[in-house]
Amino acid sequence: RYRCRVPRWDRPINPSIRKDEKKVGDVFDIEDLMKTLEPGQKISLCRCWRSKKWPYCDGLHKDHNICTGDNVGPVNIIRKKQS
Ligand code: FES
């Protein structure tokens, strides 16, 4: 269960992900990524920094939003269906 925390500006936005790194940044090769997706399939990338499956969204943004009044959600990358 997600533990609600009162948001404060003097705390990091990232509470736990790869804290041993100076900066958390990721690169995706979009061509390689598209090869892994079936037409119509999508992947969702986390933007709330609460996912346990980082960098992918696992839905924890919903609890985060309820707890904090925030409105964050994932970036969805969708492979178009062939027409
Ligand atoms: Fe972070 Fe969904 S879990 S955006």
User: Is 23 annotated as catalytic?
Assistant: yes
What ipTM is given for this predicted complex? 0.99
**Ligand 1 pocket test, candidate residues 2, 13, 46, most atoms within 8 A of CB:** 46
User: Is residue 12 exposed (0-12), middle (13-18) or buried (19+ Cβ within 10 Å)?
Assistant: exposed
Cβ 60 vs Cβ 49: under 8 Å: no
| DSSP alpha helix (H) spans, the chain | 30-35, 61-68
Closest by CA to 74, choosing from 66, 3, 60, is 60
Looking at the whole model, is its pTM more than 0.90? no
What confidence category does residue 7 fall into, taking pLDDT thresholds of 50, 70 and 90?
A: low
- According to the model, what pLDDT value does residue 59 have? 96
Each residue's pLDDT tens digit, 20-71: 999 999 999 999 999 999 999 999 999 999 999 999 999 999 998 998 888 9
The two tokens of residue 58 are 């696992």
